[in-house]
Structure 1
Amino acid sequence: MNFKIVRKIMLCLVVLTLCGQDTLALSTTDLGLTVDLLNQDPDPVKPGEVLEVSFSIQNTGAEEVENVIVELVPKYPFSEISGQSLKNNIGTLGKRYVDERSKTVKFKILVDNNINAGQYPLEVMVYELGNRDSLCISQEFDIYVDSESNAEIESISLEKLVPGKKTNLSFVIKNVGNSPLKNAMFSWESTSDLILPVGSSNVKYINFIDIQDNATVDFEVLTNVNTIPGLYKLDMKLTYDDVEELQTITEAGTVENQKRKTIESKAGIYIGGTTDFDIVFLEQTMSGDYSFSVSNIGNNKASSVTVSIPNQEGWSVNGGSNSVVLGTLQKGDYTIADFGLTPDTYDEFLPLKFQIAYTSSDGERESQDRELSVFASEPVVIQQSIQRGQSEKSGSWLFPALILVLIVGFVIYRKKKQ
């Protein structure tokens, strides 16, 4: 027996065996299946949203494939949603030229809330049931995430502005988007320039506002003292660079394409409202009352003005009401309020508290507290009575003396004439 021939035959058998194994492996790992991304909803998707993706699985091979498994393998920024399976058994796919050689499968996943804009890979695996380690297909599809920046004027510190009074006006700007704001410029203007900044312009710059952060810009503002009370419009404008909106990911790295965005909004500010008062002690009247002057020294009209003296140590109200109604006081007007008061002690200065209530130009009821140092003196009416009694006593002998002088003068005149 020729051992060389035997050896060649055995070698051929080994080669044929190995080739058969390779053919089997290829039939397991390459079944002629293809996968395509049909649709994504929404497109583009935004951070924090639920993404639904649809894939088409086709069999282009000459043999049908049973128990085909389609599995989604999410990586950051994608994640599994509770209750939503990421595996789907689509059953049997027929061989090519057969109607049932393709099927569609859908998955839902969640996009991370803090991701920047860009394209991110989403992996899909297709394999026979039980043969996941011998993959048929592992393919990645790029999903575009749009994290366009958004900002808003979250709050304004001022609702009312008193004419002629310098006031701080603050704006809080919040980044409510999913990418930072850079090189922001904020400005505002009022109707007919009724409100103007003092000591600075109406423009402020902000270098950077991170995601979900905010920034505050302050202005000192003033309006004319003769401004008619009412609600006036305030126009606001915010412009900034949205670097992340057009950010793309390439093989060379991240490319940033700046885009300037503008947000315009408006708000209402009421000009008017409150006013201010001054109260001064005038005199103690002949009837014994204390008289005070009440002045509207503010820049707004005050309606239904009342002045009250609350219960307090050192003073008591005599009999009547402790409140006096003054009516309407225009700005710059004043009027008199009298109170019957009795001090606990005399001949010294005592503190006296007042409360002034009024209706402001915007219809709100307001009040102010004032305090004066008033000299407590004896009632003037008593002093006048004493003076009147002394006058009556002096007048009781004045008339008889006058009669006596007339008689003496008449007697002297008759004697000279004789």
Structure 2
Amino acid sequence: MAFKQIIIFICVIILSLSLCSGNALAESTLSANSSLDKGLNIDLLNQDPDPVSPGDVLEVRISIENTGYKDIENCFVEIKPEYPFKALSGEKLVENIGTLGKRSEDDRRKVVKFKVGIENDVNEGEYPLKVYLYSTSNKNKVSLNRELTIDIDSESNAEIEYINVEKLIPGEKTKLIFGIKNVGNSPLKNSMFSWECTSDVILPVGSSNVKHVNLIDVGETANVSFDVLTNVNTKPGLYKLDMILTYDDIEELKTITEGGTIENQKRKTIESKAGIYIGGTTDFDIAFMEKSPTGAYTFSVSNIGNNGANSVKVSVPLQANWTVTDGSNSVVLGNLPKGDYTIADFNLEPITVGQDLPIKFEISYTSSDGIRQIEESVLSLYASPSTLPVGSKLPEESSGSSFSYKLVSLILLGAAGFFGYKKYQKRVKEKNSQGNWTDESQMEEKKTGE
């Protein structure tokens, strides 16, 4: 019996404790509600721009109003930017709004402004901006927080970031690369790029002028390349490239149809243009033609490229194997159209004779785009021993080769003289025998006449 009484006593104690804790919780909840529910309202009056785009600056106007029956002193409003919002240099995040009067007073409502930045990589949607309201007064403290909904519009966008070449050489096959960059805040899908040149001066080779790219992510660049060619007779100058980029700009358009809700895909088009120069540099060929007895070497200079060259000058720079002995080391040739040639003469002295020596030339000219160009050319030139200048040295093997040459010449001359002498003797014998035969015939004729 005593045991049952003890159990009942324990149950009563537990029940009493539960009731006490419930009352305490209710009191704390009421206390919390009383601290948060003092008739304070925090509202977003407006945002500018609305909606805001990624990378832009957002300005918000926030309304703080006291509808309670007591004044609240030393009030502060603070925003705490979190992604996709960010603090801006020089912009405040806390505002002291002073005293909020009770509901019957004129100063019960205050409006504050804040500016924050928007991250570049945010997607379209609604995002919360956290706002805090608190007071530092010992008389009537408050501490509230709210989340204001900000609309962010993330639109896709793209641009032609670069073209890999600025000049094309007529008749020369070139790889033309376009860089397409996604500068928006959503991926570019099903992109199509095309280009066209004025009067079809530049044409693609081996493919069309249209390329597709399935996906270009945010901030990334996709390269599309074309092999292009221009006519060799294209007049040098600046030509226009028209470029067109289209891609999907997906918008959810809810339309009531028999099939239900559909997704409408719209194509966005970006048109741009760029200039590309056709012309520029050319190529030259230098060849040895002849050498005069005085030591003047004549060379032909040919424009073998696809562009004309103006104010052409050929020079023999200072070098080890050859020296310009007389006159200038440069010859001005004037203008040289493509496919044309002219000649240049230089008085040259080799360091040694009887062998091939490399000689270097410099050709300077003004290209069709008005830029001064310098091209080097090296060819192998034989230093003839027949015009051995004073102070020159024969190569070591030249004495032996010269002796062999003289010996062969003497043998040939001796053989020629021997055969000539034999032939002369033969003719003399034939003449003498013919004279004897004539004398004998005359004597026989005289005897017959007698």
TM bin, normalised by shorter chain, reads 0.7 to 0.9
1:119 aligns with 2:134: no
Q: Distance in 1 between matches of 2:90 and 2:296?
A: 85
Q: CA deviation at 1:120?
A: 0.7
Counterpart pick for 2:226 among 216, 219, 222: 219
* TM-score normalised over the length of structure 2: 0.69
Contact kept, 8 Å, 1:284 with 1:380, in 2: the verdict is no
Counterpart pick for 1:329 among 320, 327, 336: 336
Q: CA deviation at 1:341?
A: 1.7
Q: Distance in 2 between matches of 1:354 and 1:381?
A: 23
Q: CA deviation at 1:380?
A: 7.1
Q: CA RMSD in A?
A: 3.5
Counterpart pick for 2:286 among 258, 275, 279: 279
Letter in 2 for 1:276: D
1:235 aligns with 2:276: no
Q: CA deviation at 1:231?
A: 1.0
Q: CA deviation at 1:261?
A: 2.6
1:303 aligns with 2:310: yes
Contact kept, 8 Å, 1:34 with 1:137, in 2: the verdict is no
Q: Distance in 2 between matches of 1:373 and 1:85?
A: 78
Higher mean C-alpha displacement, 263-272 vs 121-130: 121-130
Please list, as runs of the form range in 1=range in 2, the aligned pairs for 1:36-51 lying within 5 A after superposition: 36-51=43-58
Q: Deviations over 1:318-345 (max 9, x none)?
A: 2211211111111111111122222233
1:369 aligns with 2:371: no
Q: CA deviation at 1:284?
A: 1.7
Contact kept, 8 Å, 2:353 with 2:388, in 1: the verdict is no
Residue aligning to 1:352: 359
Please list, as runs of the form range in 1=range in 2, the aligned pairs for 1:98-177 lying within 5 A after superposition: 98-126=105-133, 129=136, 138-177=145-184
Letter in 2 for 1:359: T
Counterpart pick for 2:215 among 204, 208, 223: 208
Q: CA deviation at 1:92?
A: 4.1
Structure 1: give runs of 5+ residues left out of the alignment: 1-13, 248-255, 383-418
Q: CA deviation at 1:229?
A: 0.9
Letter in 2 for 1:30: D
Change in CA separation of 1:165 and 1:226 when aligned onto 2, cut-off 3 Å: same
Change in CA separation of 1:226 and 1:129 when aligned onto 2, cut-off 3 Å: same
Secondary structure (helix, strand or coil) at the match of 2:242 reads strand
Residue aligning to 1:403: none
Q: CA deviation at 1:128?
A: 5.7
Q: CA deviation at 1:295?
A: 1.0
Residue aligning to 1:66: 72
Q: CA deviation at 1:226?
A: 1.0
Q: Distance in 2 between matches of 1:269 and 1:286?
A: 52
Letter in 2 for 1:66: I
Letter in 2 for 1:273: G
Q: Distance in 1 between matches of 2:149 and 2:264?
A: 19
Q: How many residues align?
A: 357
Please list, as runs of the form range in 1=range in 2, the aligned pairs for 1:163-202 lying within 5 A after superposition: 163-202=170-209
Higher relative contact order (CA 8 A, sep 6+): 1
Letter in 1 for 2:72: E
Greater C-alpha radius of gyration:
2
Q: CA deviation at 1:273?
A: 1.4
* TM-score normalised over the length of structure 1: 0.74
Secondary structure (helix, strand or coil) at the match of 2:274 reads strand
Contact kept, 8 Å, 1:69 with 1:89, in 2: the verdict is yes
Secondary structure (helix, strand or coil) at the match of 1:345 reads coil
**% identity of equivalent residues:** 62
